[in-house]
């Protein structure tokens, strides 16, 4: 209980301090206007002006800033915001590939993928969340899962060494979402742990046993990954008690 009070006190102090995040969003060096720049955990957002510039007043602390626009891949950046300080950042957005009306590969796609990952493809087209395809994962096959997922804006929470070590997944959400692991042999830190699904089956949610070591999953064994960093982004079919800290969907490769 004392640890929880300390965590609450530190968070309250952190929220009282304010800093400013400013910057520019570009496309191959050209400023982009009307791009949404936001910090999801506080529901703070701004849009770039004609010069591609934006400005946000943000509670001090480690924050994840998202830039997104129609026709571009969203980008997350981790920034350290200090009280009364200005942090200047730059986003270089990349355009999404245009899909032609006639795509031969769809006709030749394996039936197994159509049945298993049809939902993945549909959700990816909507653009809500972060999606990693087999081609993108192939470029990182020799990386740890914690490294790959950290680049999507997720936090990694270190697991106690006496309980196997490694990292659990989490987000930097508010106090109401903090998860206090059940008492046991593993003294897990208080945090906001993400719910994890494997091939559409729930394998861990807050309130169960200790959070899994995400590095036990190997990048080369996965076909795709979906990351939803807040409950409001989670697809309705995966919304349940315990998803306040977001959901990660892992899809294994076709054999």
Residue 217 has a pLDDT of 92
CB proximity list for 64: less than 8 A, separation 6 or greater = 39, 40, 41, 76, 77, 78, 79, 153, 172, 229
Residues 52-75: what's their mean pLDDT? 91
pLDDT in tens, 171-215: 765 444 455 555 556 777 777 888 899 998 888 887 767 788 999
Residue 80 confidence class, pLDDT cut points 50, 70, 90: very high
- Please report, rounded to a whole number, the percentage of residues in the chain having pLDDT higher than 90: 38
Residues 203-232: what's their mean pLDDT? 87
Residue 180 has a pLDDT of 55
162: phi then psi, degrees, rounded to nearest 5: -75, -5
Residue 107 confidence class, pLDDT cut points 50, 70, 90: very low
* Residue 225 near residue 194 (C-beta atoms within 8 A): no
pLDDT in tens, 161-174: 877 888 988 876 54
Count the Cβ atoms, other than its own, within 10 Å of residue 238: 17
Residue 140 confidence class, pLDDT cut points 50, 70, 90: very high
Residues 126-130: what's their mean pLDDT? 88
Biggest CA–CA distance in the chain, Å, is 62
Residues 145-159: what's their mean pLDDT? 89
Residues 80-97: what's their mean pLDDT? 90
Question: Which pTM was predicted?
Answer: 0.54
pLDDT at 105 > cutoff 70: no
Residue 109 confidence class, pLDDT cut points 50, 70, 90: very low
* Tokens 């209980």 -> residue: 1
Residues 68-93: what's their mean pLDDT? 90
pLDDT at 11 > cutoff 80: no
DSSP character string of 163-193: GT-SEEEE----GGG-B-PPSSSS-PPPB-B
Averaged pLDDT of the chain: 81
Alpha helices in 17-153 (DSSP H): 104-108, 111-126, 134-138, 145-150
Instruction: Give the whole-angstrom CA distance, residue 181 versus residue 62.
Output: 23
Instruction: Dig out the tokens for 138 from the structure.
Output: 């192939």
pLDDT at 226 > cutoff 80: yes
> Strands 195-198 and 247-252: what pairing?
parallel
Alpha helices in 50-110 (DSSP H): 104-108
């Amino acid at each position: 209980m004392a640890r929880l009070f300390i965590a609450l006190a530190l968070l309250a102090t952190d929220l009282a301090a304010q800093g400013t995040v400013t910057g520019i969003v570009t496309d191959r060096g050209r400023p982009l206007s009307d791009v949404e720049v936001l910090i999801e955990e506080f529901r703070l957002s701004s849009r770039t002006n004609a010069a591609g510039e934006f400005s946000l007043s943000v509670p001090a602390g480690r924050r994840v800033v998202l830039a997104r626009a129609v026709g571009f891949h969203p980008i997350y950046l981790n920034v350290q915001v200090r009280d009364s300080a200005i942090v200047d950042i730059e986003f270089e957005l990349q355009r999404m590939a245009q899909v032609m009306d006639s795509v031969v590969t769809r006709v030749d796609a394996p039936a197994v993928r159509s049945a298993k990952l049809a939902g993945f493809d549909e959700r990816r087209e909507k653009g809500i969340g972060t999606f990693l395809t087999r081609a993108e994962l192939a470029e990182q096959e020799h990386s740890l899962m914690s490294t790959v997922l950290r680049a999507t804006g997720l936090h990694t929470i270190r697991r106690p060494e006496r309980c196997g070590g490694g990292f659990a997944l989490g987000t930097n959400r508010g106090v109401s979402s903090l998860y206090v692991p059940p008492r046991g042999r593993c003294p897990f830190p208080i945090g906001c742990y993400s719910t994890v699904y494997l091939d559409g089956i729930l394998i861990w949610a807050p309130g169960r046993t200790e959070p899994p070591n995400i590095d036990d999953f190997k990048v080369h064994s996965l076909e795709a990954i979906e990351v939803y960093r807040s409950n409001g982004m989670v697809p309705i079919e995966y919304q349940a008690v315990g998803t306040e800290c977001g959901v990660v969907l892992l899809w294994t490769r076709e054999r």
